[in-house]
Amino acid sequence: MEELIQGVAKFQKEVYPNNEAKFRKLANGQNPEVLFITCADSRIDPNLLTQTQPGDLFICRNAGNVVPPHSNQTGGMTASIEFAVAALGVSHIVVCGHSDCGAMKGALNPDALEGLPHVKEWLGHCRAASEVVKERHGHLDKCHLEEVAEENVLLQLQHLRTHPAVAAKIASGRVRLHGWIYNIGSGAVECYNEQTKKFEIMDSSYSLELEEGLAQGKGEVA
């Protein structure tokens, strides 16, 4: 905690004064372009990863970067997604999984979660991802961890499409979905390519392809 307290002091003495105009502007409202959904893992820092500033990303985090399918039961993720899309008007939604994900380890072996009943229930939203990998290989073990993480990102993108606000904006071409995997050890980011049906390393050409897709009014996964 001492490190956090010292960090606040440094922010107030050094960071805020050097960016006062920006923070005063943000005090009157926000206008993020991107809803960034990722894991609650302490090793993930969306702003550091994307080199963005306060106000650029509307961030939702939870164990396993899960998006529960839409239902009549209100939850924190459902409300946050609706607010980001319908009220703030974000034009992009990123679901970002990562390497060595503890939630995906739980999805691989739900029996190990008997002492964590709420975690086990929450990761039920990831079950289809592990079942896809199991069907593909005939079994599941720890060597399939990264594959399950990838399938989970695709599954949560499917769940996003069940949310009315998201479905409406996709249909009109005003929202585009993106599936990412972040490798903590290498710093690499892979993005899902709808054409090749694979996760591919993000490079400088990715932004150009994105702009071309938006110009054509596409609203599907990049």
Is 118 marked within a binding site? no
The distance of Cα 200 from the centroid of its chain, to the nearest Å, equals: 17
Cβ 160 vs Cβ 93: under 8 Å: yes
CA distance 219 to 208: 16
CA distance 70 to 138: 30
CB atoms within 10 A of CB 187: 8
Cβ 158 vs Cβ 192: under 8 Å: no
Is 45 marked within a binding site? no
Judged by DSSP in three states, 97 sits in strand
Is 191 marked within a binding site? no
CA distance 191 to 193: 6
Is 98 marked within a binding site? yes
What residue numbers does the annotated binding site for Zn(2+) cover?
39, 41, 98, 101
What residue numbers does the annotated binding site cover?
39, 41, 98, 101
